[in-house]
Amino acid sequence: MRRFLPGIALAFGAFTPAMAQDTPPESSASPTPDPLVDEAEKPADRVSVDVGAALVSKYISRGIGFAEEASLQPYVTVSLSLPGLEGGAISGAKMFVGNWNNVKLGHVEATEAGQLTRFYENDFYVGGAVTVNDRWSVSATYYRYGSLSDSFDGYNDLELIVGFDDSGLWSGTVPLDNFSLSPSLRMVQEAGRPGRPDALYVQPSLSPSFDVGHPDRPVHVTMPLVVGLADTYYDDAQGGHPTFGFFRTGVSVSGQPFPNSAENVRVSGGVDVWMLNDKVVNGLGDSEVVGRIGVNWSF
């Protein structure tokens, strides 16, 4: 039910920054490193961590309203690069595991869950991603959706995302720095969702983006164009299943506030504009505007 990771463009790049555990201290009995072993191949250098959080004015996912209250959405992703799989057309490969949460803020009516009432959603995911010819990315992810507050019964999702990195292809054609369209196709198959048939959700998107400001400290601007489609995911009041769920656009900006002292920290902010199918029972109006701010740290 969760939105695709801040990033998760969830394609290969979205899971690249995510992971880093504490490294145990070196033992004095450690063997002398083999000079023939490339330093870049050490396991510790193959692990990365992406940790962050977003503050949203309302929780909407796939065109369905899940929380009217403002929410905090913290997450962490740990990734392990797999250089042994690289070669030929495969220019990058990795596996990842992570956790994403939605925590309601403000006044929340008490339930039997007590203090856990605020913890509306708590998801775990694991998957893998490959980059093909430095341009195409394919990621496959298993999600287990759960709720510490028992707001809904847990179920599973299987997600496949295919994306294309068109950065650099527009130089000399579009008069904008670092312009790209970043086309992607996201497909999600529900598995074992209680009380309803498992649905297939399809989300084609473009994310036109470019840089503004000083080249040494650019601000990245993105204006997503997203459509939500499904077979039986959306319900109408007559018991039918409309195919079209929503169109979403908006604008977001992101950048590095401390490029010299903390170059791996990024902050972002923006507005999502949802234009919704008024025949779908979604708990929302015909249109919704959602504000968001976030911070991300990769190491």
pLDDT in tens, 37-77: 444 456 668 999 999 999 999 999 999 999 999 999 999 99
Residue 107 lies in a domain: yes
Cβ–Cβ under 8 Å, residues 204 and 227: yes
Residue 161 lies in a domain: yes
Task: Look at residue 13 and tell me whether its pLDDT is greater than 70.
Answer: no
Q: Which pLDDT value is given to residue 41?
A: 55
Residue 256 lies in a domain: yes
For the stretch 269-279, pLDDT in tens is: 999 999 999 99
Residue 1 lies in a domain: no
Task: Look at residue 18 and tell me whether its pLDDT is greater than 70.
Answer: no
Question: At 53, which helix (H) or strand (E)?
Answer: strand 47-56
pLDDT band at 33 (very low <50, low <70, confident <90, very high): very low
One DSSP character per residue, 194-250 reads TTS---EEEEEEE--EEEES-TTS-EEEE--EEEEEESSSS-BTTS---SEEEEEEE
Alpha helices in 84-205 (DSSP H): none
Task: Look at residue 24 and tell me whether its pLDDT is greater than 90.
Answer: no
**Block residue for tokens 């002292």:** 261
For the stretch 188-233, pLDDT in tens is: 999 999 988 899 999 999 999 999 999 889 999 999 999 999 999 9
The backbone region for 133, taken as left when phi is positive above 0, alpha when psi lies in -120 to 50, beta otherwise, is left
Question: At 130, which helix (H) or strand (E)?
Answer: strand 119-132
The helix/strand/coil state of 44 is: helix
**Block residue for tokens 């990195």:** 165
Domain that holds residue 173: 44-298
Query: Which of the 8 DSSP states describes residue 257?
Result: S
Q: Which pLDDT value is given to residue 43?
A: 65
* 161: number of Cβ within 10 Å: 25
Residue 291 lies in a domain: yes
Q: How far is CA 120 from CA 46, 68, 149, 216, in A?
A: 33, 11, 6, 40
Cβ–Cβ under 8 Å, residues 10 and 186: yes
The residues, any chain, with a CB within 8 Å of residue 26's CB and separated by 6 or more, are: none
Residue 4 lies in a domain: no
Task: Look at residue 15 and tell me whether its pLDDT is greater than 70.
Answer: no
What is the tally of structural domains in the chain?
A: 1
State the chain's maximal CA–CA distance in angstroms.
Answer: 72
Choose the most confident range, by mean pLDDT, from 15-29, 107-121, 228-242. 228-242
Q: Which pLDDT value is given to residue 196?
A: 87
pLDDT band at 261 (very low <50, low <70, confident <90, very high): confident
CATH assignment of the domain containing 292: 2.40.160.40
Task: Look at residue 254 and tell me whether its pLDDT is greater than 90.
Answer: yes
Tokens of 56: 């949203």
Residue 36 lies in a domain: no
Q: Which pLDDT value is given to residue 113?
A: 65
R_g (Cα) of the chain, nearest Å: 21
Distance CA 102, CA 176 (A): 36
Q: Which pLDDT value is given to residue 260?
A: 85
Residue 9 lies in a domain: no
Mean pLDDT of the chain: 87
